[in-house]
């Protein structure tokens, strides 16, 4: 029986905030772990997200333990969805939990957690020499009021996947601009006469991925979500033009199918992998999956920078995860040692080769062994050098929560861009006024 069914409304209303009540109760007396265990070893709890190849992370951790005999690291896996991970952190950190030391965080949460005082300052702890080789755009999200609160340990950037075979067949080069992409897609669709083939798919479901996709349209036209100083810039012409084009792709040009309003990353990948889209916006994780034996498009695809509008530059959205130290951790020194370990060149290289995510360390991309084993890395490096993070403000989650339905309304044709963005702008202004 579903849990919904067995609970009365009172219990349910209680459940919504029951955890808050517990949180408040635990404020008074939170059990602290012993600072030193009988054998004088410290055990760090490292909270991180599940990932198909995180098994290799355990190998790295064993290496850290071998190098630091006094420290053990216990992995504690977070729930699968990022929403649930965020919820876990919020509930526990708001209740001043001290039973985990190192946190694996989505880049967009870092300013929020830092502002709340939940993260230990890393400014002197992580040295400038250690910070220098990390991608600056990724690191930008970790600073709040000139203090560093986290560091990226792997990064992500939106990329454009294309069907190399179809483009070659019809004599097209990978497009650099949106008009070129539109032209290419229409020509190929006309020539192929395949009713199942569509032109360009991206993440259009009402969720965080839609903000990432839309930002690439907007910034590719010189627009942005926020102005300098943090006020919304949603109703400015570059933003509205880009959103018009985005919605026209669906309703006017017939290049993006209407079902884009249901697509998240995996649903997009399924369509592209079954050979039914010419172009796809997605993250680099899809590359090995698309190229694996058995994939219908294996060996027939390419990857390039996300498009931009003429006169502007390609601006992929930054993703990835950052590590920080719980401000209430009883083992700050050891936790810091672990964070610094993750940034080391040799460790970052293993993170790429074994764990299969993109390292935050810029020089790994020039490594001879890496270049030889992963030829597509140079294309990814291009994207990573042009990425921009989503607005690094502590209230990003609130802004995104306001934007998601409005962007979705644009994609689904419920409201024109101007009306939707004006509504979002008013809501954001109201929110900022509250703070």
Partner 1 sequence: MRASFRERLGRFGLLGPAVAYVASVAVIPVVFTLWLSLRKQMPIFGISQFVGLQNYLFLMRDARFWGAVGHTGYFVLVAVTLELTLGLAIALLLHQKFPGRGLARALVLIPWAVPSVVAARFWEWTLNADFGVLNFLLRTRINWLGDPFWAMHAAILADVWKTTPFMVLLLLAGLQVIPEHLYRAARIDGANSWQAFRHITLPLLKPIILLALLFRTMDAARVFDLIYVLTGGGPGNQTETLVIYAYNLLYRTLQFGYGSSVAVATFFFIVLLSLAYLRELRRTWQMRE
Contact residues for partner 1 (CB under 8 A)? 1-5, 8-18, 20-21, 24, 83, 86-87, 90-91, 94, 112-113, 115-117, 204-207, 258-262, 267, 270-271, 276, 394-395, 397-398, 401, 404-406, 408-415, 427, 434-435
**CA-wise closest residue to 84 among 56, 47, 115:** 47
- Least distance in Å: CB of 280 to partner 1? 13
Nearest to 170 by CA among 154, 152, 185, 160: 185
Q: Which long-range contacts (CB under 8 A, 24 or more apart) does 30-35 make?
A: 30/95, 30/96, 30/97, 30/98, 31/99, 32/98, 32/330, 33/98, 33/99, 33/330, 35/330, 35/331
Least distance to partner 1 from the beta carbon of 205, Å?
6
User: Which candidate, 278, 221, 271, 222, places its Cα nearest to that of 246?
Assistant: 221
The distance of Cα 28 from the centroid of its chain, to the nearest Å, equals: 35
We find the least distance from the C-beta atom of residue 430 to partner 1, in angstroms, to be 9
- Closer residue to partner 1, CB minimum distance, 131 or 276: 276
Whichever of 20 and 173 has its CB closer to partner 1, that residue is 20
DSSP state of 43: E
Compare residues 35 and 435 and give the one whose CB is closer to partner 1.
435
The least CB distance from residue 53 to partner 1, in Å, is: 24
Residue whose CB is less far from partner 1, 111 or 284: 111
Angle at alpha carbon of residue 259, lines to 255 and 261, rounded to 5°? 105
CB of 87 to partner 1, least distance (A): 4
- For the chain, the C-alpha Rg in angstroms (whole number) is 23
Instruction: Provide the minimum distance between the beta carbon of 127 and partner 1 in the complex, in angstroms, as a whole number.
Output: 28
Which is closer to partner 1, CB of 113 or CB of 309? 113
The whole-angstrom separation of Cα 180 and Cα 378 is 23
Closer by beta carbon to partner 1, 12 or else 169: 12
């Amino acid at each position: 029986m579903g849990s919904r069914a067995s609970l009365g409304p009172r219990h349910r209303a209680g459940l919504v905030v029951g955890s808050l009540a517990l949180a408040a109760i635990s404020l008074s007396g939170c059990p602290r772990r012993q600072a030193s265990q009988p054998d004088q070893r410290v055990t760090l709890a490292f909270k991180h997200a599940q990932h198909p190849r995180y098994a290799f992370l355990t190998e790295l951790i064993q290496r850290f333990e071998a190098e630091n005999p006094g420290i053990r690291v216990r992995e504690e896996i977070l729930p699968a969805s990022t929403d649930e991970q965020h919820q876990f952190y919020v509930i526990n950190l708001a209740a001043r939990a001290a039973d985990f030391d190192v946190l694996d965080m989505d880049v967009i949460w870092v300013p929020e957690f830092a502002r709340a005082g939940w993260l230990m300052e890393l400014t002197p702890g992580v040295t400038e020499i250690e910070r220098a080789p990390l991608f600056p755009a990724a690191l930008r999200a970790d600073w709040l009021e000139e203090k560093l609160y986290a560091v990226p340990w792997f990064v992500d950037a939106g990329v454009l996947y294309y069907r190399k075979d179809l483009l070659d067949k019809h004599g097209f080069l990978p497009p650099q601009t949106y008009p070129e992409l539109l032209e290419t897609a229409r020509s190929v669709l006309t020539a192929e006469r395949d009713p199942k083939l569509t032109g360009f798919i991206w993440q259009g479901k009402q969720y965080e991925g839609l903000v990432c996709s839309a930002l690439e349209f907007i910034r590719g036209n010189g627009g942005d979500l926020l102005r300098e100083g943090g006020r919304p810039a949603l109703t400015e012409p570059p933003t509205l033009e880009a959103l018009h084009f985005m919605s026209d792709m669906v309703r006017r040009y017939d290049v993006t199918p209407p079902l884009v309003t249901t697509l998240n990353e995996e649903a997009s990948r399924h369509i592209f992998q079954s050979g039914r889209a010419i172009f796809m916006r997605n993250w680099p994780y899809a590359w090995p999956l698309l190229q694996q034996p058995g994939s219908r498009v294996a060996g027939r695809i390419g990857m390039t920078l996300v498009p931009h509008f003429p006169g502007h530059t390609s601006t992929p959205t930054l993703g990835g995860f950052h590590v920080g130290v719980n401000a209430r951790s009883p083992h700050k020194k050891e936790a810091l040692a672990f964070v610094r370990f993750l940034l080391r060149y040799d460790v970052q290289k293993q993170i790429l080769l074994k764990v299969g995510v993109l390292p935050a360390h810029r020089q790994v991309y020039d490594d001879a062994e890496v270049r030889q084993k992963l030829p597509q890395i140079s294309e990814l490096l291009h994207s990573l050098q042009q990425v921009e993070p989503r607005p690094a403000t502590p209230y990003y989650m609130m802004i995104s929560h306001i934007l998601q339905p409005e962007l979705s309304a644009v994609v689904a044709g419920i409201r024109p861009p101007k009306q939707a963005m004006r509504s979002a702008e008013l809501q954001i202004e109201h929110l900022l006024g509250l703070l």
